[in-house]
């Protein structure tokens, strides 16, 4: 969960603000590929899926009206169903409409939700280059990477008071203790604020 630099140093993950995520989305081009990239950012941010899980999605896995996303190829081969909010579902729906007209006529290759013009599935390496590039374009000074959108999702759920059991299921963790460690790692300021609020008597 820590980012390793070229010098071998490690840094704790940085959670993005909602405004920073919106800036990432705004930095996407006004094109079919840009609509796809916005939808992908939204899925990573509002469902907390891992990159590989998002890229493995097929249209049949999405129930946007019902607010559900089926993850059939999760970590360790486990499947689960996660939630997606109506606002995020609308952005994904916009991409699916664009995708229908954009993908090449040979649709036999266009199985993935997030595909290229010729129908081929996006590679995770593309996303790992895309997100830092968009953050630079948006003027975000934090270290921004695709997995950080998953961190942001988890941090927002915790801040909203969502039960840790629900967060654990959403993230696809095996047990709640894993989720507790995950949240403590990405939100160390919760500890700082708790101690900072003590009165000197």
Catalytic residues: 50, 75, 147, 150, 173, 182
Contact 174/161 with Cβ under 8 angstroms? no
Residue listed under structure tokens 């993950």:
13
CA atoms of 147 and 58, how far apart (whole Å)? 20
Starting from the edge strand earliest in sequence, which strands make up the sheet with 80-83, in order? 62-63, 68-71, 80-83
Alpha carbon 93 to its chain centroid, in Å, reads 16
Q: In terms of Cα–Cα distance, which of 38, 48, 97, 95 is closest to 69? A: 48
């Amino acid at each position: 969960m820590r980012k390793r630099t070229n010098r071998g140093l490690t840094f704790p993950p940085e959670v993005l603000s909602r405004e920073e995520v919106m800036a990432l989305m705004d930095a996407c081009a006004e094109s079919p590929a840009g609509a796809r990239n916005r939808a992908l950012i939204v899925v990573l941010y509002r469902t907390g899926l891992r990159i590989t899980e998002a890229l493995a999605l097929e249209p049949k896995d999405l129930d946007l009206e019902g607010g559900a996303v089926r993850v059939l190829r999760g970590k360790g081969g486990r499947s689960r169903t996660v939630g997606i909010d109506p606002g995020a579902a609308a952005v994904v729906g916009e991409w699916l409409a664009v995708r229908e007209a954009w993908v090449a006529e040979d649709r036999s290759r266009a199985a993935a939700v997030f595909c290229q013009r010729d129908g081929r599935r996006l590679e995770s390496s593309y996303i790992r280059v895309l997100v830092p590039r968009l953050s630079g374009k948006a003027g975000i000074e934090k270290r921004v990477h695709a997995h950080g959108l998953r961190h942001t999702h988890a941090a927002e759920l915790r801040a909203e008071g969502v039960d840790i059991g629900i967060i654990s299921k959403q993230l696809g963790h095996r047990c709640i203790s894993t989720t507790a460690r995950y949240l403590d790692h990405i939100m160390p300021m919760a500890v700082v604020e708790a101690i900072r609020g003590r009165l000197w008597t």
